[in-house]
Amino acid sequence: MAPTPTAPSDSQTRLLRELGLRDAVAIVAGTVIGSGIFLVPNSVASRLSCLSGVLFVWITGGLLSLFGALALGELGAAFPGAGGLYVYLREAYGKTVGFLYGWGLLTLIHSGSIATLAVAFRIYLAQIVSLTITQQKVVGVVGVLILTGVNCGGIRSGKAVQNVFALAKLGGLALMVALLFSRGRADMLDTSFWPKGPLEFHPSHFGIALIAVLWAYEGWHVVSFTAGEFKHPKRDLPRGLLYGTLIVATTYLLANIAYYCVLTPTQILETDRVAATAVSSVFGGAAALFISVLILVSMAGAANGMILTGPRVYYAMAAEGLFFRKFGSVSVRFRTPVFAIVVQGVWAACLTLLGTFQELFTYVIFTAWIFYGLAVAGVIVLRIRRPEINRPFRAPGYPWLPVLFTVAALGIVLTAVLSSPLHAIIGIGLILSGWPVFAIFVGRNKIKSKASPAGVSPE
């Protein structure tokens, strides 16, 4: 198989290699920690009534994300170019699967994640500032477009904003957890740890709670999209995935324990603003403003990470002649795929107007985990089919951890289909709508190849 070009052949402009390990950790942690840890605990409590079950589902989500991150670390070190999961899927299963992922990323998965964060942002802002429904929608759209503009200005400005957001949200969460622990009561943890009645396990309840938790972990993979801009991708990409995921999982577990230090399971069940309720219950209503601001900063940072990373996939697709050529163009001044960033930003802004928070994150989780499972299974596929590939980093626990992740991904997809079949049908439809588009590009490339035998075949 011919090596993948790093940019369109008619352009000498390349992406800048500006990212290091610190940036990788900031992208992972800063993108993953968004609205989930503040909004999801209520959804989890509605399915799991005791702290032991809650912690188990958060640990499960963290382990799945960690297993996935380790697998992507191997793939990222083996294929250190721009595009991330798109490249891994293409190498393991062929260009059709790779293209459908990239198409799904733009139409729903990635753009939908940005829109979901924007919707959550406007909901929380309305808790601080009185806004009409129309004004809330305007805020969501404008917020996406502002961050889109920041990332059009270059990888340096994009990563600087991401690093600041990541540091601010981690510091804020650490302060929140410390404050809650300082006023928390150990007896409340003891009381809520085990169920009051006979222990019952409902797989469907656990599965639905896990889907909500995985939304909170959503985004650990996006750093792989920017592999073409790392100074040392074979070294720093696997480490960034590992360290960033561990930081996120630890933060989430501590935050949940802190909530249950000051609130009963019933109180958590009755509020969809668990963090604000927890802080205000021990420090008064004015302290909830701190949490609201922290949530806004957290969601803005997560959205920035999504906006920064996604266009690198569309850029890589265009570099191979499998997407509209304009998506592969790089600004001479800013050295970023400006057109791809703008299209993604405009479409994500439109999606903020089309669905609720719950609808959007259900679409994202269902469609995304189809491809996460395929990508991690790709570690096994490529070890068998292409053992000669240089692998500077090898996923530990092979093949059991990749197998476990893949089986879990299948279970998550099936649970999402059973719980929201309409959302699943719409998600599959949007992904498959890329098939005729792919056929057009393949056909066009074949015509070009026949017309110019000396050129590089798209196959």
Kindly write down the DSSP assignment for every residue of 12-52, as one continuous string.
Answer: -------B-HHHHHHHHHHHH-SSHHHHHHHHHHTT--SHH
Q: Would you state the pLDDT for residue 207?
A: 80
Domain residue limits, the chain: 21-444
Which residues, listed in sequence order, are joined to residue 14 by a DSSP beta bridge?
none
Report helix, strand or coil for 242: helix
How far apart, in whole angstroms, are the C-alpha atoms of residue 236 and residue 77?
9
Q: Yes or no: say if 153 and 16 are a contact pair by the CB < 8 Å rule.
A: no
Question: How confident is the model at residue 198, as a pLDDT?
Answer: 55
Give the pLDDT score at 93: 96
Q: Are the beta carbons of 192 and 331 closer than 8 angstroms?
A: no
- Structure confidence at residue 455 (pLDDT): 47
Q: In degrees rounded to 5, what are phi and psi of residue 230?
A: -90, 145
Highest CATH level, class, for 21-444? mainly alpha
Strand stretches in 309-382, DSSP E? none
Instruction: Please give the Cα distance from 234 to 213 (Å, whole number).
Output: 30
Q: What is the pLDDT of residue 197?
A: 60
Residue 97's pLDDT is 95
pTM of the model: 0.85
Q: Per-10-residue mean pLDDT for the chain, 459 residues long? A: 42 74 94 85 87 92 91 92 91 95 90 87 84 90 95 92 93 93 88 70 78 84 90 92 94 95 90 87 83 89 93 93 92 91 95 72 75 94 95 92 90 80 81 91 84 51
